[in-house]
Structure 1
Amino acid sequence: MNKITQLFNIKYPIIQGGMIWNSGYKLAAAVSNAGGLGLIGAGSMYPEVLREHIQKCKKATDKPFGVNIPMLYPNIEEILNIVVDEEVKIVFTSAGNPKTWTSFLKSKGITVVHVVSSSIFALKAQEAGVDAIVAEGFEAGGHNGRDETTTLTLIPMVKEKIQIPVIAAGGIATGRGMLAVMILGADGVQIGSRFAASTESSSHLNFKQKIVGVKEGDTQLTLKELAPVRLIKNKFYEDIQELYKKCPSKEDLVELLGRARAKKGMFEGDLEEGELEIGQIAGLIHEILPAEKIIHEIIADFKAAYQEKSKFEF
């Protein structure tokens, strides 16, 4: 039995990333109904909006689903209380110290997974008592690790250090990518960008169409002084690069970023002034599809690649 399918009681070891402005209840429910684990992305939701999405997700699926919570969230205590009140059984945490809330969540019978970008943080998460970790390489979209460690190198290094299950993330959108990281030691995968370009994603159609047009080299990790983020190169990105030529202070960067840039880009569809977060693997995403079809394609591709293993014999 696969450790991840056992841990979450799901059919396939595929977790949908809890992406801000993309991961509403419709996407989470669709992924869970198709045999994966859907996640509601709390990072872009006010507390009561999150409660509404959890309640709607319960009605839309009888399968397991979870909530992704960035721990730097200003209303973190209120968010966690809502998750407990609504009897959510799975929580993925990110962007913070897992020791802060893991024991609280575990005491409520919740399965806890923490997202890390290095083996050092993976060890800290294991020590904090999480049930599994997501090891995310810097190919991933959105906020990212500062070390620029790729998934190819991160997974075996994390696997060497920890005993709990490892979920690979960053640069995975196909069954072949899934097989590759599992051969490297991952027990399952978390996929973001491919599901951002799904029918059920809550992001704007403009953003989804932009994703399928992305080519190799069209994204870049930037704003490391604030929080490293991988963006599609657009006018806002170019404005950042122009500002860098003037040796800006951290305050200058904060002023340019302003507020609600991610909402403007991904949710409202402003492709010029908005922050468009997506992973490098977007260069392999060529059409917007229903989540169920995405999962079926990934599994079919995984099985086909696995059947070709004889080509490795020499």
Structure 2
Amino acid sequence: MSNKICDLFQIEYPIIQAGMIWNSGWRLASAVSNAGGLGLIGAGSMYPDVLLEHIQKCKKATNKPFGVNVPMLYPNITEIMDIIIAEGVKIVFTSAGNPKTWTTWLKERGVTVVHVVSNVKFALKAEAAGVDAVVAEGFEAGGHNGREETTTLTLIPMVKEKISVPLIAAGGIATGRGMLAARVLGADAVQVGSRFVASEESSAHQKFKEVVVNAQDGDTHLTLKELAPVRLIKNKFYNDVQELYKTTPTVEEIKKLLGRARAKRGMFEGDLEEGELEIGQIAGLIKDIKPAAEIVKEMLEEYDIAKKEVANL
């Protein structure tokens, strides 16, 4: 299934596992890479020493390409980038920041750079900054999201029309049919997050994984837009946020309620009441927890079936 993205990353299939905080450690990244996709370690939930450990373990667990996702809003960013270079990681996905900040520095050191965006404006800025590819992530995605609330269905063709670098679609993609739809819209590959949360190798807490597979249509919502829009499963914490909104709170009052480490508490430690449970709308189609390799295989098989069905339309 060779194409621009497969050639760029030297992978077999155009399936990228998203670098999600508290969900994507070395076990998941190496499993996806070993299955022929591109695994990403999510540096957003890791102190530098923890990231170093995950990179070193990932290198032992796979001889295939893998990368690191780096949200640029986190502290210790310089130390994180130095570790990535020192450990010889050749693929970095950046997000939540200006791509100009690190793209040239990384590329001068032989790193392939991809930036995650939520609109056409930032896609163009990323291309101008010199990135090798762009991830366009739609409103359906879990976790932190774009303020424009543009869906994947509309975002992908709009971005495709404006940029010339390879395009990766993200947001609401967990099946082979979704992968085919994204390719038809102009994407060269797909980035999959929520489906890999519900994998055996995901570092998410088992209780959170079970909540994901039990989620139904309408069980997630984009909230906390005054801080950074985030899609959450509705739980006690989510309900507390909605109650606070009824009082027309200040940003400081919202920050006070949010506190610190809510995402870790929910997704990594399994506090289903007070934790922040980040997942995409596609959770309504996720019905089981299985090995990452089986998820990749299942997506590819469904993709081939869907292609044949489309050919007969």
Q: Which residue of 1 aligns with 2:287?
A: 286
Deviations 1:233-292 (A, max 9, x none): 000000000000000000000000000000000000000000000000000000001000
CA offsets 1:186-238 (integer angstroms, 9 cap, x no match):
00000000000000000100000000000000000000000000000000000
Secondary structure of residue in 2 paired with 1:301: helix
Give the letter aligned to residue 107 of structure 1: E
The aligned residue for residue 10 of structure 2 is 9
Q: What does residue 149 of structure 1 align with?
A: 150
- Residues 142-291 of structure 1: pairs in structure 2 closer than 5 A: 142-291=143-292
- State the distance in 1 between where 2:305 and 2:112 align: 32
d(CA) in 2 for partners of 1:10 and 1:310?
26
Of 301-310 and 137-146, deviating more is 301-310
Amino acid at match of 2:58: C
Identify the residue that residue 75 of structure 2 maps to in structure 1: 74
- Residue in 2 aligned with 1:111? 112
Shift, 1:307, TM fit? 0.8
SS of equivalent to 1:297 = helix
CA-atom RMSD in angstroms: 0.5
Q: Give the TM-score taking structure 1 as reference length.
A: 0.99
Instruction: Give, in angstroms, the shift of residue 311 of structure 1.
Output: 3.4
Task: Say whether residues 1:20 and 2:21 are aligned partners.
Answer: yes
Q: Deviations over 1:106-128 (max 9, x none)?
A: 00000000000001000000000
What is the CA–CA distance in structure 2 between the aligned matches of 1:309 and 1:279, rounded to whole Å? 26
Q: Give the length in aligned residue pairs.
A: 312
Alpha-carbon distance between aligned partners in 2 of 1:101 and 1:143, rounded to the nearest angstrom: 21
Corresponding residue SS for 2:89: coil
Distance 1:6 1:308 in 2: 27
Normalised to the residue count of structure 2, the TM-score between the two structures is 0.99
| Matching residue of 1:34 | 35
Paired with 1:56 and 1:266, the residues of 2 have a C-alpha distance of: 22
- How far apart, in 2, do the equivalents of 1:73 and 1:229 lie? 16
Letter in 1 for 2:162: K
Partner of 1:46: 47
- Amino acid aligned to 2:197: A
- Distance in 2 between the 1:115 and 1:289 partners? 27
Distance in 1 between residues matched to 2:168 and 2:248, nearest whole Å:
38
Give 1:309 deviation, angstroms.
1.7
CA distance in 1, matches of 2:253, 2:161: 41
Aligned-residue identity in percent: 73
Partner SS for 1:299: helix
Secondary structure, aligned partner of 1:91: strand
1:38 counterpart letter in structure 2? G
The alpha carbon displacement at 1:73 in A equals 1.3
Residue 60 of structure 2 corresponds to which residue in structure 1? 59
SS of aligned partner of 2:293: helix
Q: Which runs of 5+ in 2 are unaligned?
A: none
Whole-angstrom CA distance in 2 between matches of 1:120 and 1:184: 19
Counterparts of 1:181 and 1:55, CA distance in 2: 33
Partner amino acid for 1:78?
Answer: E
Paired residue secondary structure (1:173): coil
- CA–CA separation in structure 2 for the residues paired with 1:138 and 1:253: 22
The list of structure 1 runs, each at least 4 consecutive aligned residues, that deviate by more than 2 angstroms after superposition, is none
Give the CA deviation at 1:310.
Answer: 3.1
Secondary structure class of the residue paired with 2:110: coil
Taking the aligned partners of 2:112 and 2:161, their CA distance within structure 1 comes to 23
The one-letter code of the counterpart of 1:233 is K
Query: What is the rounded CA distance, in whole Å, between the counterparts of 1:188 and 1:109 in structure 2?
Result: 22
